[in-house]
Chains A and B, each alone.
Chain A
């Protein structure tokens, strides 16, 4: 599958239809998820209606982590196998991951204020997610800092791989340190410890966010490939144009003589 997709022309053809279907699916699933989280799901017996922030906060956090993992895997594939689309994919994913991380931090802050009494605490979980946000921003800054895009891509790939060390720190921060942030309640060895009426909207929103990521990833990859093609055409035209002018000049001189 990965080798089969290594052809950018094939990717462009395939992603055109996939993009359309995924966009509609994302709109439908997120709308259902929003209705479920804001209207259908019950308020928490302790936290009241603030628990509804969870339906954006937790899926956004999952996306922040999984998009970084995706970016790191794509970077490894780009470095080791020089897969032509892997680097494009990693670059396209980074701003999407940064946005989800920002959403996670902002909604967490708005949840922390009424429940913990503070907008922010330097707790292990919050701090490690803030580091993740800066890793995303650093990656975007680094890949755009080079005149030669391929050198920027390679430097970014190394940064993305080094940053992977932060992922287990985020995941296990709530178990390793005594933090204010609550431990996992969905991804547990003994199964989720959350009521089904709250688990359902959580999972629907997670599916919706994953679809949204797929849409934005494909859209941004297509943009990058189109821009690359336009650049090649422009370079070609720049080389071809003087020769063409010469040729036209020769023809007109010839007709003038005859």
Chain B
């Protein structure tokens, strides 16, 4: 437990090290999640359009 404690304390710099990793994770993860959701939405919209076109023929 104290091992985990010293790890989390980061030699007294916990207030700088963890936010730095947090910001990087939030920004890059957020962009990845947003890009993925937009990609899925695009795929679904395209499939629906292609189905409509198929029906009309």
Q: Which residues of A contact B (CB under 8 A)?
A: 34, 38-39, 43, 48-50, 52-53, 56-57, 60, 95-96, 99-100, 102-103, 106-107, 110-111, 113-114, 212, 215-216, 219-220, 222-223, 226-227, 229-230, 233-234, 236-237, 240, 244
Residues B1-57 near A (CB distance < 8 A): 7, 10-13, 16-17, 19-21, 23-24, 27-28, 31-32, 35-36, 38-39, 42-43, 45-46, 49-50, 52-53, 56
CA of A90 to CA of B46, assembled, Å = 23
Q: Which residues of B contact A (CB under 8 A)?
A: 7, 10-13, 16-17, 19-21, 23-24, 27-28, 31-32, 35-36, 38-39, 42-43, 45-46, 49-50, 52-53, 56
Name the 6 nearest CB pairs between A and B, nearest first: A49-B11, A49-B10, A226-B42, A107-B20, A110-B20, A48-B11
User: B residues within 8 A CB of A234?
Assistant: 49
Q: Which label, helix, strand, loop or mixed, suits the secondary structure of the B interface? A: helix
Is A223 touching B32 in the complex (CB atoms < 8 A)? Answer: no
- 10 inter-chain pairs at a CB distance below 8 angstroms, sorted by A residue, are A38-B21, A50-B13, A53-B16, A103-B23, A103-B28, A110-B17, A114-B13, A223-B39, A233-B46, A244-B56
Which residue of the partner chain, among B16, B28, B43, contacts A212 with CB atoms under 8 Å?
Answer: B28
Is A49 touching B49 in the complex (CB atoms < 8 A)? Answer: no
CA of A227 to CA of B38, assembled, Å = 10
CA of A113 to CA of B17, assembled, Å = 11
CA of A63 to CA of B27, assembled, Å = 14
Is A53 touching B28 in the complex (CB atoms < 8 A)? Answer: no
User: A residues within 8 A CB of B53?
Assistant: 233, 236-237
Is A222 touching B39 in the complex (CB atoms < 8 A)? Answer: yes
CA of A100 to CA of B32, assembled, Å = 12
User: A residues within 8 A CB of B19?
Assistant: 110
CA of A100 to CA of B11, assembled, Å = 27
Is B35 touching A216 in the complex (CB atoms < 8 A)? Answer: yes
Which residue of chain A has the shortest Cβ distance to B50 in the bound complex? A233
